[in-house]
């Protein structure tokens, strides 16, 4: 019996990593037709993930522009997804997380009166401007969604506090753990492109891209990286630099041509996850890395003032240090010089899932489509 059609929409690297396991699970359900549309809000960084997980999009809006802003992405996604929804006539539109693709695709589905499923729902800082625009993208998508796939009990509580109906929320775990477990290999050999890195040193793995950190905050972070490598000669910084020119210009200007600071191109997910595994400490403003690194037992200093992922913070394996030079220096120096402080943070914890989140999501969607065959008022 044909249950229906699911249109999966995403556009950036993290959405692709976290949606890939869901697409693969949905494709195992033969009575569901799964159609994939990418907005390509990111291009190279998205394509790396599509290749790894062998996902060939049915629709590609190819939206990315060199200096895109929030208005142009929102407009492009809204206008671009409309004809795809009209042509495909899906029974459900599935979106992920908190990007502008997420919100605009959910809004397009709402305008077409198609129900929305939201993967990684319910994360909140309750600060409208931090992270910006992600906090509002995620909250507004939550208002539009019918099915809320919350990764943890905390995110479920956040949704309940906003009067989301209990029967529309499922705690599934985060699909990032599914992707991670499918990708990390204990016997992985790094290729020749990593030849310049001295793996006998303690590796500090760094990523930055958040809008709140553009400009001076990013300079503070990079100044701290310079002084940390000077203070601790047995360390090397590995920094795959985001494709955003705003990030790249500052990173290459301040950190280029330094012996123990390696600026790399964005890495494929497979080697990148092995690098998390090989690192001593992670410094990042990324959302996804706050989930991945703790599950591999790596301490994380979060280069932000707020986080919508409090679980690892409460467990003590991540710390918020902001983008403040002195705070980064103090906390990183402590972890690099005091082994008992390091050991306290370096524990593998997994509040974000057991690697079966995608399977649970596919099951809920199957049930949802089954019920809809009998009623239009789910």
**Binding region for ligand UD1 (CB under 6 A):** 12-14, 41-46, 64-68, 70, 73, 98-100, 133-134, 209, 243-245
CB of 97 to ligand UD1, least distance (A): 8
Report the distance separating Cα 252 and Cα 272, nearest Å.
Answer: 20
Beta pairing, strands 300-302 & 281-284? parallel
Could you say which of ligand UDP, ligand UD1, none residue 367 binds, taking C-beta under 5 to 8 angstroms by partner kind?
none
Q: Which residues pair with 240 in a beta bridge?
A: 264
Catalytic-role residue among 15, 60, 91, 120? 120
211 catalytically annotated:
yes
Backbone angles phi, psi at 281, to 5 degrees: -150, 145
Which residue(s) pair with 34 in the sheet? 6
Decide if 96 is catalytic: no
Catalytic residue among 91, 98, 212, 285: 98
CB atoms within 10 A of CB 214: 16
Contact status: 353 vs ligand UDP (CB under 6 A): no
Q: Identify whether 59 is a catalytic site residue.
A: no
Q: Does 272 bind ligand UDP (CB under 6 A)?
A: yes
Nearest Cα to Cα of residue 5 among 253, 373, 376: 373
Question: CA 378 to CA 367: how far, in whole Å?
Answer: 11
Stretch that binds ligand UDP, among 213-221, 224-232, 261-269, 298-306 (CB under 6 A): 261-269
Question: What crossing angle do the helices spanning 357-374 and 175-183 adopt, rounded to 10°?
Answer: 130
User: Residue 169 phi/psi, 5° resolution?
Assistant: -115, 135
Compare residues 208 and 229 and give the one whose CB is closer to ligand UDP.
208
Applying CB under 6 A, does 133 fall inside the site for ligand UDP?
no
In the complex, minimum distance from the CB of residue 162 to ligand UDP, in angstroms, rounded to a whole number = 22
* Element containing residue 222 per DSSP (H, E): helix 216-231
State which residue, 54 or 67, has the beta carbon closest to ligand UD1.
67
Question: Smallest distance from the beta carbon of 303 to ligand UDP, in angstroms?
Answer: 11
Q: Which of 128, 80, 129 is nearest to 104 (CA)?
A: 80
Is 294 a binder of ligand UDP (CB under 6 A)? no
Q: Yes or no: say if 221 and 249 are a contact pair by the CB < 8 Å rule.
A: no
Binding flag, residue 286, ligand UDP (CB under 6 A): yes
Residue 242 is a catalytic residue? yes
Residue with tokens 């990173």: 251
Q: Which residues pair with 35 in a beta bridge?
A: 7
Is the Cα torsion angle 160, 364, 11, 264 positive or negative in sign?
A: positive
Instruction: For residue 138, indicate whether it is catalytic.
Output: no
Is position 350 an interface residue for ligand UDP (rule: CB under 6 A)?
no
Closer of 48 and 172 to ligand UD1 (Cβ): 48
- Compare residues 63 and 365 and give the one whose CB is closer to ligand UD1: 63
Q: Which of 148, 209, 262, 304 is catalytic?
A: 209
Instruction: Return the number of the residue (213 or 366) whose C-beta is nearest ligand UDP.
Output: 213
Residues of the shown chain interacting with ligand UDP in the complex, contacts defined by CB under 6 A? 13-14, 17, 207, 209, 240, 266-267, 269, 272-273, 286-289, 292
Question: Active-site residues: which are they?
Answer: 98, 120, 134, 209, 211, 242
């Amino acid at each position: 019996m044909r249950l229906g059609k699911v249109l999966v929409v995403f556009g950036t690297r993290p959405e692709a990593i976290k949606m890939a396991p869901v697409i693969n699970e949905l494709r195992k359900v033969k009575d569901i037709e799964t159609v994939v549309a990418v907005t390509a809000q990111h291009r190279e960084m998205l394509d790396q993930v599509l290749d790894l997980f062998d996902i060939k999009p049915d629709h590609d809006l190819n939206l990315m522009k060199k200096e895109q802003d929030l208005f142009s992405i929102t407009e492009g996604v809204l206008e671009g997804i409309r004809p795809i929804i009209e042509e495909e006539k899906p029974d459900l539109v599935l979106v992920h997380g908190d990007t502008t693709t997420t919100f605009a695709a959910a809004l397009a589905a709402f305008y077409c009166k198609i129900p929305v499923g939201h993967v990684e729902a319910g994360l909140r800082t309750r600060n409208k401007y931090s992270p910006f625009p992600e906090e509002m993208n995620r909250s507004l998508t939550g208002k539009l969604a019918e099915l809320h796939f919350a990764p943890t009990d905390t995110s479920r509580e956040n949704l309940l506090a906003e009067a989301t109906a209990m029967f529309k929320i499922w705690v599934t775990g985060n699909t990032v753990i599914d992707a991670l477990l499918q990708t990390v290999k204990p016997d992985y050999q790094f290729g020749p492109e990593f030849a310049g890195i001295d793996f006998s040193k303690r590796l500090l793995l760094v990523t930055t891209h958040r809008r709140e950190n553009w400009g001076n905050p990013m300079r503070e972070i990079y100044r701290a990286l310079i002084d940390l490598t000077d203070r601790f000669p047995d360390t090397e910084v590995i920094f795959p630099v985001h494709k955003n020119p705003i990030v790249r210009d500052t990173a290459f200007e301040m950190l280029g041509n330094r012996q123990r600071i390696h600026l790399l191109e964005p890495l494929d997910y497979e080697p990148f996850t092995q690098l998390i595994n090989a690192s001593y400490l992670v410094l990042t403003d990324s959302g996804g890395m706050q989930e991945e690194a703790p599950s591999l037992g790596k301490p994380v200093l979060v280069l932000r003032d707020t986080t919508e992922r409090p679980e690892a913070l409460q467990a003590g394996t991540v710390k918020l240090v902001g983008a403040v030079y002195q705070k980064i220096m103090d906390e990183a120096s402590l972890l690099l010089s005091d082994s008992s402080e390091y050991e306290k943070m370096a524990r593998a914890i997994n509040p974000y899932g057991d690697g079966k989140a995608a399977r649970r999501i596919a099951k809920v969607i199957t049930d949802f489509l089954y019920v809809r065959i009998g009623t239009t008022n789910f």
